[in-house]
Chain A
Amino acid sequence: MNRLLAFAAAAVALAATPAQAQDFAIANAHVATGDGSAPMKGATVIIRAGKVAAVGADVQPDPSLPVIDGTGLWVTPGLVAAVTDLGLLDVGAVSNSNDTRASKARFNAALDVAPAINPASQHIKVSRANGITRAVVSGGSSNSIFAGQGAIIDTGADPDPVMKPRAFQMIALGEGGARIAGGSRNASHAELRNALREARDFAAGRWSGEDNLLTRADAEALGPVIEGSQLLLIEAHRASDIRAVLALKQEFPALDLVLVGATEGWLVAPEIAASGVPVIAESLQDLPERFEQLASTQSNIGRMRAAGVKVALNAATIENSHHYTQYAGNLVALARMPGAAGLSWGEAFAAISSRPAEAIGMGGRLGVLKPGAVGDVVIWDGDPLEVSSAPLRVFIDGIEQPLDNHQTRLRDRYRDLDESELPKAFDW
């Protein structure tokens, strides 16, 4: 108990000064490591120097370490939300506050979200309070099928959100990309191939600058894509569109592809599995919202997983990114339904932690509690996939995070409606 108090006092003291990673242990908790395994009971997690140092039921913390009693609580790695627009907007419908699209920009592939990310965004704060500690952030395609370069961020309350800038290039194919490219899928494929060839020419010093369609900046930005040192995320939904994406590997063998969306992925699951291309997939979409989604089903992820596809749950199509755990929980529920395909609890949790991390090249570092991984830890008041549960404490790189935000402040102000002494505006 004394140790707990001391730990809390230290956290308060640290809040006033630049935050530092703390060494601590969480003992006797339900621990889900995020690697797809079932949760462990009565397990301990040790964080040292901002990293996970040890995890297990048989781990004994050094007596000098502050210990958080995890009795009755759940401990998991921080969630990894992919693909999101976190930090790129305040209010979606307020265009001046929204940096997700740039329909009048002179550039496309060269666009880089990193300098635009606002770590003080309320959506980052709300996501953090809901257990999301890392996010894959991308703009959307608007004036070109190329949306530009996305980043991997942390959601910490500090001025430095970007963990890896220019982590990937994002492209829209399918119906959306076809409209942007001029009106047809063939137009989007022509645009894609032309861009990749021009980028190859640029990288090889064969750039005339006169008969090119790309700007110099866009051609330069696609260099790492062509050589495979930067991931290429491609959004596609229809089974035939997914096949067309996989076929790109024959033409451009170095491409390091990730499929995004893949509503009909289950129809081509064996081909995706054979390609080794990871998928950040639609989860609960079960309606033919668009013709490219006719075969949509909530079993999409479960069926792909069963076929051996490396599949994560896409956070982009969820109304609020803090619905991430709820959607994963629904995949567990599906496993009990005849004819449906869901995920085990461990796999469902992995689909919002380690699988998205692996898909974006951060396997073993993010979204998992194993020695050497970042010290992103969430302590939950119950089963994190259950709708009634919420985080109690969140650590990023071993640093305890504040969980307050605009919403919690409104909640506290309007706990009652008493204005007998002063207006509500004085209640803060």
Chain B
Amino acid sequence: MSRMMRAIAGLGSAVALAACATTGGADAGTKPASASANDFEKDPYPSTYRAYPGAPTALVGATVFDGTGRQFDNTTVLLRDGKVEAVGSGLDTSGYTLIDARGKFITPGVIDIHSHLGDYPSPSVDAHSDGNEATAPTTPEVWAEHSVWPQDPGFSRALANGGVTALQILPGSANLMGGRAVTLKNVPSRTAQGMKFPGAPYGFKMACGENPKRVYGGKGRAPSTRMGNFAVNRQTWLDAKVYAADEDRKRNLGKETLAGVMAGEILVHNHCYRADEMALVMDMAKEMGYRVTAFHHAVESYKIGDLLRENDVCSAIWADWYGFKMESYDGIPENAALLQQAGACVVIHSDSDQGIQRLNQEAAKAQAAGKRMGIDIPDGEVVRWFTLNAAKAMGIDAMTGSLEPGKMGDVVLWNGDPLSVYSRPEKVWVDGALMFDALDPKHRPVSDFELGQQGEGDVK
């Protein structure tokens, strides 16, 4: 009965908050159509996400990494109406639920720019293999959100163990053009739309190198070589340009997406390992009139930090994965530090349902590798690698990724320094609503799949 009451009481505030969320979403969704080559419905599968209710909350006395690179000691963070209200000391906390955060640490919610939760969910059985439409080398017409299974238990692990509050779900890398990526709030939902991050731009997954040429070369068709990769890409862009300029065009799902990329509305996330290929891809983008927002995996980015800085392209990378395939052979743990030293943008990513639970540790390893070679990067900058930099590369940095007043109340309270292996998330808020509490065994999400199974509701 009391749970029911709480649910009903919660609805009232949910409706109140929904108004704000809708307004925000509408602003982002009603850009003048004439600004784009596309004149079709832009948002046919709109987000139905609404922030859950949260009490005004004051986290008092923590060490705060605000995501912009800054660190504040013995500081208070105020959350109200789903937003970060203030970060500072001497704040008036009357009327707020007080949480003693002394000796603890606060960061913005962790953001993973590269995840396949939902489109390669657990259990990873063939019936769930929904990340690669590996039937043609370019499939710009597919959208990852149509594959996302919201009951993937991985979402809850990313929340509870990783402090992840937002994540981008990408198609796989079998295809040169894998399709649209979708950005999600890490909140449990009955539908993928209930997780969609309101107002987030779409991403577009591309892939260079071994995967596309292996998958299609193996089928006796183009591309079977790296030069084939480029040829297929370039012709596809040329065709899309013709389409975008054609006033009598018929709708074409793939070309609508490519036109959106060329219009700068959809952000390119390009799986690419080797430095020489990344350099060529940046020139292909110039040739065809689009921009690469981030190279993903990018284990050789450290060889071209200057080029990446000049082209303003982020590298979304692991700390130290290497050697599992030929194009990853030159991966080194100093990649992130060398990029930082070159003034290029670093994002720590997972591409793993395990790694997404420890992005903070991955960043700490990358920081330490830099320190050992004489590159000292402050802790605040390192936290930025898995918060604001990820948000920026996903086009959501105006809304989340840092603890600046007015931004979404996406916050992690850690029980120790997040750059230590010994620390874990203690509480996680999404839009000011408490979505995980390590101190309350019932306050953790359990997916439909896990109900009635061994280990249901376990700490995991």
Which residues of A are at the interface with B, using a C-beta cutoff of 8 A? 90-94, 122-123, 126, 239, 264, 267, 284-291, 293-299, 319-320, 322-323, 326, 329-330, 332-334, 336-340, 381, 385-390, 406-407, 410-411, 414-415, 417, 424
Contacts of A90 in B (CB 8 A): 323
Pair B454/A267 contact, Cβ less than 8 Å: yes
Q: A320-B322, A387-B361, A417-B306 are in contact. Are A288 and B373 (CB under 8 A)?
A: no
Pair B354/A332 contact, Cβ less than 8 Å: no
B18 contacts the other chain (CB 8 A): no
**CB<8 Å pairs between A and B, sample of 20:** A91-B325, A93-B325, A94-B325, A239-B454, A289-B124, A293-B123, A297-B460, A319-B324, A329-B422, A332-B421, A340-B459, A387-B368, A387-B421, A388-B368, A390-B368, A390-B372, A411-B373, A414-B338, A417-B305, A424-B303
Which residues of B are at the interface with A, using a C-beta cutoff of 8 A? 122-125, 153-154, 157, 161, 210, 302-306, 320-326, 329-334, 338, 342, 352-355, 357-358, 361, 364-365, 367-368, 371-373, 415, 419-424, 438-439, 441, 449-450, 453-455, 458-460
Pair A92/B323 contact, Cβ less than 8 Å: yes
Contacts of A417 in B (CB 8 A): 303-306, 342
Could you say which of B125, B421, B439 has the most chain A C-beta atoms within 10 Å of its C-beta?
Answer: B421
Pair A389/B322 contact, Cβ less than 8 Å: no
Contacts of B323 in A (CB 8 A): 90-92, 122-123, 126, 320
| Shortest distance between the CB of B318 and any CB in chain A (Å) | 8
| Shortest distance between the CB of B452 and any CB in chain A (Å) | 10
Pair B154/A332 contact, Cβ less than 8 Å: no
Pair A290/B123 contact, Cβ less than 8 Å: yes
Name A333's contact: one of B326, B422, B453, B460 (CB within 8 Å): B422
Could you say which of B334, B355, B364 has the most chain A C-beta atoms within 10 Å of its C-beta?
Answer: B334
In the assembly, what is the distance between CA of A333 and CA of B421, in Å?
7
In the assembly, what is the distance between CA of A19 and CA of B450, in Å?
56
Contacts of B353 in A (CB 8 A): 287, 289
Pair A94/B415 contact, Cβ less than 8 Å: no
In the assembly, what is the distance between CA of A196 and CA of B364, in Å?
49
In the assembly, what is the distance between CA of A387 and CA of B373, in Å?
16
Give the nearest-CB partner of B460 in chain A: A286
| Shortest distance between the CB of B307 and any CB in chain A (Å) | 9
- Extra A-B contacts (15), CB below 8 Å, given A90-B323, A294-B453, A414-B338: A91-B326, A285-B354, A287-B153, A287-B154, A295-B454, A297-B459, A326-B421, A329-B421, A330-B361, A337-B459, A381-B372, A386-B421, A386-B422, A407-B331, A410-B332
Give the nearest-CB partner of A424 in chain B: B303
Q: A297-B458, A320-B322 are in contact. Are A289 and B123 (CB under 8 A)?
A: yes
In the assembly, what is the distance between CA of A294 and CA of B454, in Å?
6
Pair A386/B420 contact, Cβ less than 8 Å: yes
Pair B157/A288 contact, Cβ less than 8 Å: no
